[in-house]
Structure 1
Amino acid sequence: MYPLKFNPILKERLWGGTKLRDVLNKPIENDITGESWELSTVKGDVSVVSNGDLAGISLQELINTQTNDLLGVSVAERFGKEFPILIKFIDAKQDLSIQLHPNDELAKKRHNSFGKTEMWYVMDADQDAELIVGFNKDVAKDEYANSIKNDTLLDLLNYEKVKEGDTFFINTGKIHAIGAGVLLAEIQQTSDVTYRVFDFNRKDKNGNLRELHTEQALDAIDYTKKDDFKVAYSTEKNEVNTMVDCPYFKTNFIELTENIKQDVTSRDSFTIYMCVGGSATVKNEFGEANLVKGETILVPALSKSIEIISSGAKLLEVTI
């Protein structure tokens, strides 16, 4: 159970571009690739190991056969044989649709799914690139419904200019969208439940408008203005700096100019490293794997220590 790498699962999107290839060296074959799913057990999109003796085996198969060793006992007790988070890189050449995600209770009731709490780490942003996060004032439900009918929703939304390193926490119910020119890393609950409420009247390659979820969204939205989304975090070098610590995942920022070694005996969770800059080698007792910008590694939970060898890397470290 050495550090595991997986083949990226690439997704064409109406709004996608070429940065996944040009910046992160993903093997995309067209100019509208919007997402690279790095770690997934979503049905139909299950990650497959790409390195070492386990190459060719799916993440789900490893979880089924080596549950506690891979996930950790406490994670397995909580989530069974489901991988609890979904890891992606996203390239928005155009604005994404304006959307939100239901909470666990509503998602379970309507879709037999988890909700979708997520976070974004901006890796690259064109000049004046923006994100939409929340409302610019408290909005009444009727006011929101009228804005959908009158095509004035954009007037109610909060816009945030972004640059590399900016980090946002998107809790369930918060209306949001990734703006054109943004390349980011996304960490989220395992769920593909999204309520799309506005899509700029775009049509797909067959000339059809994409489905909107106007009625479903009404009871899922948080209509209050909140300034709880921008994440402030330390960037002290060669230290583990906490970014987000929520019930669904914990994410740390690590910028290395030298090697570090962590005792993770008591962690009882897998550890994920997303490389958002530079390069590193990640080692546990059973082996090692190299990591460059745009790559992701999963270190199984049975690891007692993790060593990261690097003279220059920026990593997002994710656990449960």
Structure 2
Amino acid sequence: MNIYPIKFEPILQEKIWGGSKLQSVLNKKCTSDTTGESWEISGVEGNISQVANGLYEGESLVSLLENHTSEFVGAANYERFGNEFPLLIKFLDAKTNLSVQVHPDDEMAQRDHNSYGKTEMWYIMDHEEEAEIILGLKDKNANTEILRDVTGDNVYDVFNKEKVTRGDAYFIPAGKIHAIGAGVLAAEIQQTSDITYRVYDWDREDKEGQKRDLHLDQSVAATREFYEECKKECKANSNTSSNVVACDYFTTNVLRVNKAYEKSYANLDSFVILMCVEGCASVTVNNKTEIVFKGETVLLPANTKEAFFFAKDAQFLEVYID
């Protein structure tokens, strides 16, 4: 496989809660002021990413995977996932609250949807003053049947809310109730799955005056409570990878670059995804260089041995499966 930093065309998703920051802050080519998500790398059926640069320009993510197998994703990943790309990579702009929701784990998703579950993480890139997220039930011992009775009057009695700060990171395992609140701009890393069970949607209506469906039976069945903290330490040390999340589905590090820096990937049996969340940097692999700006994402194939970075001050989320 030809090795270079691969960029993909963003897939922009209109959302009832979306805003304009994907365009105004991250320079996406949005055509409305309700663009909620930019899918940077996606193997979700119906939303397959296309290569935007270099030798493979115009090819699909699926084509790269089918043609280059373990050289593209790593031997262990190809054995585990075959021709399905295992991660969905997004930037997200919430002008208003997302629904309070939960996602199934692998077992439930396979049984009911023939799909993977959805474990995810968020990195808070920016936020409006007093912006909040919802994480879990306020009473961790509550019966999940309580989800059937959520209203605008009791939503914050039922669910735990937290204020966010720029640079915060959160790990959301499948089965954890959550919602990103109004005013949050975030990077999201997740399993390849687009299954969401809505618990409460703030009684809002779409342009046709219709409320979106809730999925209360599935939510009650999927919801579990977790006692470990969702918020993860996210300390960016200069010119080194600092781990934020390590789970069965992905590893995410924060990588801050403020000089010329060489990083070896020779011992890693995985593709590497680099999401630029601050500044800009050049990334060189196999003598091929891409400038990566805030809000852009590149993928380094699994047969990458080393990458060379240069920046005055840039920050990446470095994602792979280990």
Say which of 150, 161, 164 aligns to 1:162.
164
TM-score by length of 1: 0.96
Does residue 1:51 correspond to 2:53, yes or no? yes
Does residue 1:314 correspond to 2:315, yes or no? yes
Does 116-125 or 130-139 show the bigger shift?
Answer: 130-139
| Structure 2 equivalent of residue 39 of structure 1 | 41
| Structure 1 equivalent of residue 241 of structure 2 | 240
- Go from structure 1 to structure 2 and tell me whether the alpha carbon gap of 1:145 and 1:314 turns closer, same or farther (over 3 Å shift): closer
| Structure 2 equivalent of residue 251 of structure 1 | 252
8 Å contact from structure 2 (residues 5, 288) kept in 1: yes
Shift of 1:154: 3.1
Does residue 1:108 correspond to 2:122, yes or no? no
Q: Unpaired segments of 5 or more residues in structure 1?
A: none
Taking the aligned partners of 2:148 and 2:5, their CA distance within structure 1 comes to 51
Taking the aligned partners of 1:241 and 1:202, their CA distance within structure 2 comes to 40
Counterpart code for 1:22 = S
| Structure 1 equivalent of residue 20 of structure 2 | 18
8 Å contact from structure 1 (residues 131, 160) kept in 2: yes
Say which of 200, 208, 211 aligns to 2:210.
208
Shift of 1:310: 1.4
Say which of 73, 81, 85 aligns to 2:75.
73
Taking the aligned partners of 2:148 and 2:14, their CA distance within structure 1 comes to 33
- Runs of 4 or more above 6 Å deviation: none
- Go from structure 1 to structure 2 and tell me whether the alpha carbon gap of 1:272 and 1:225 turns closer, same or farther (over 3 Å shift): closer
Give the match's secondary structure for 2:311: strand
8 Å contact from structure 2 (residues 119, 190) kept in 1: yes
Matches within 5 A, 1:218-297: 218-222=220-224, 224=225, 226-285=227-286, 287-297=288-298
8 Å contact from structure 2 (residues 103, 222) kept in 1: yes
Identity %: 47
8 Å contact from structure 1 (residues 144, 153) kept in 2: no
- Go from structure 1 to structure 2 and tell me whether the alpha carbon gap of 1:309 and 1:142 turns closer, same or farther (over 3 Å shift): closer
Give the match's secondary structure for 1:289: strand
- Go from structure 1 to structure 2 and tell me whether the alpha carbon gap of 1:149 and 1:92 turns closer, same or farther (over 3 Å shift): closer
Query: RMSD across aligned C-alpha pairs, in angstroms?
Result: 1.5
Give the match's secondary structure for 1:234: coil
8 Å contact from structure 2 (residues 98, 180) kept in 1: yes
How many residues are aligned here?
A: 319
Report Cα offsets for 1:146-193 as digits up to 9, x if no partner: 533796343111111011101100001110000000000000000011
Taking the aligned partners of 2:291 and 2:152, their CA distance within structure 1 comes to 52
| Structure 2 equivalent of residue 85 of structure 1 | 87
Shift of 1:206: 1.8
Shift of 1:204: 1.5
- Go from structure 1 to structure 2 and tell me whether the alpha carbon gap of 1:235 and 1:145 turns closer, same or farther (over 3 Å shift): closer
8 Å contact from structure 2 (residues 167, 234) kept in 1: no
Shift of 1:68: 1.1
Does residue 1:29 correspond to 2:36, yes or no? no
Shift of 1:54: 1.2
Q: Unpaired segments of 5 or more residues in structure 2?
A: none
| Structure 2 equivalent of residue 191 of structure 1 | 193
| Structure 1 equivalent of residue 64 of structure 2 | 62
Give the match's secondary structure for 1:66: helix
Taking the aligned partners of 1:310 and 1:170, their CA distance within structure 2 comes to 31
Taking the aligned partners of 2:186 and 2:35, their CA distance within structure 1 comes to 14
- Go from structure 1 to structure 2 and tell me whether the alpha carbon gap of 1:237 and 1:41 turns closer, same or farther (over 3 Å shift): same
Give the match's secondary structure for 1:109: helix
8 Å contact from structure 1 (residues 136, 225) kept in 2: no
| Structure 2 equivalent of residue 303 of structure 1 | 304
Taking the aligned partners of 1:155 and 1:149, their CA distance within structure 2 comes to 10
- Go from structure 1 to structure 2 and tell me whether the alpha carbon gap of 1:153 and 1:53 turns closer, same or farther (over 3 Å shift): same
